[in-house]
Every structure is written in C-alpha cells, then in structure tokens.
Amino acid sequence: MRITPEIIHQELIDVEMKVAKSPNPSCRGLTGKVINETRNTFTLLNIDEEKIIEKKSHVFHFKFSDGTIIQVDGNLLIGRPEDRLKKNIRRLW
C-alpha cells in the first residue's frame, strides 16, 4: 500500500473505496464505489444502497483502475473537490 499526497489532486468519483478506520463502528469496513462527493461527505454505493460517509476523522483506502491502493486521512480531503486542486501539501520526506 502506498501513501502519497498526490491523491489530493485527483478525481475520486467512480473510484473503489473502503473505510479503513472510523469512530463509528457501523462504518468500518464499508466498501463500494464513490458516486458523489461534497465538501464534507462521500456518497458510497454499497450493494445497491447509498451510504453517506463523513470525511472528518475517517481513514480511507482508494483502489484505482490500475490496481493501486492508496490510504488517505479524510481530514486532508475536507473541502470542495474543485478547491482541493489549489491546496498545497507539504511533504514530510
């Protein structure tokens, strides 16, 4: 699994997502395809059922079409998707 700051600048709709860590036990382990994204939430299509998941305090695993899986802290994703393109993330390495 690769952790990278470039995920901030990518489109996340139609990407497979798994909720890895959540303060809400009913959200942990949910998987599905992201069908909508707002400033503070993702809408996940999970077995023909839409689930709305808050970005704050969650950790997500995103699986892209090339098979790459990336882990992201949801606090980094807070904000409108179009504003994330302008956000600068400092690298720690």
Print pLDDT tens along the chain (93 aa).
444 566 677 788 899 999 999 999 999 999 999 999 999 999 999 988 999 999 999 999 999 888 888 888 898 888 888 877 676 666 555
Q: What is the CATH number of domain 5-79?
A: 2.30.30.210
How far CA 71 is from CA of 5, 22, 48, 52, in Å, comes to 10, 13, 25, 19
- Domain limits, the chain: 5-79
Answer whether 0.85 is exceeded by the pTM. Answer: no
- The strands making up 59-63's β-sheet, listed across from edge to edge, are 50-54, 41-45, 31-37, 16-21, 59-63, 69-73
Closest CA to 9 of 88, 92, 91: 88
